[in-house]
Structure 1
């Protein structure tokens, strides 16, 4: 198992916690309003400073039509923040997210989401923050086609892929670490 995958396994229980985390969990420094993490000792197992890591998050579950923050997308922000706090330069993290299935509507633009559901988009600010931090986000074209979502409805910066499977196969063949 790669170091990045091991670290994700350690952080997944945090994603399952309720929204009320202990006060020791705070956001930043890389993503100011998302991705709360708790401080760890300086000698805690970490990524190696100065190395470049290419990480692909496979995000297939989410809020669909429940109008809540997608915890898997929030985990991507957590990953960025926890490593930035631990001395890993965010420039050394090449992070991509491929969304499909239940995350289809979570990557719509604010306008498209409001038009479809009549409520504000709960993930819009998170999407913007992730992309501002250098995270690339793809939507599975097959999921989009199956649910009648056009490329014009996607949040600014979200890219359409032929399929999630295509992104997963290609990036893994290029040596990216997969975080399911």
Structure 2
């Protein structure tokens, strides 16, 4: 198995984590923080908006089953890349749309992918997603990991996470793990 790691920020990491966990070929999804300038930030510090970090997920995937482009397609389907520092009810720079690349190839693929979306007019408004090299990833506190799996009936999850999972299962059914819908 050949694995690669990708890092995405698209609002609350609970939402993005759950969406990527649906994909066959994803071996690990870890919620965390990236893009800021404070070492080892806490969730409270990130939520205060003073660290510069975004809530992100790191996705480890099997390249024989999924390509980086597949992950980009899912990412741009489950969040709104046209809203600056906001996703749904979550507002602040920590909820920005971002792709943190791990090498030059990921950088080029992500930039080309966004260019293609823009050229195709995929969204009514311009894409504001940041694409930049990952400098440091900090793993979020343990209670944030697998949050949706542990709290599927929590109101935020029901309203915000469940629709993203359904969208992934409907649009990418051929790439998802076999599981009953929530």
Task: State the TM-score, normalizing by the size of structure 2.
Answer: 0.30
Please state which structure has a larger fraction of its residues in strand.
2
| Structure with larger Rg | 1
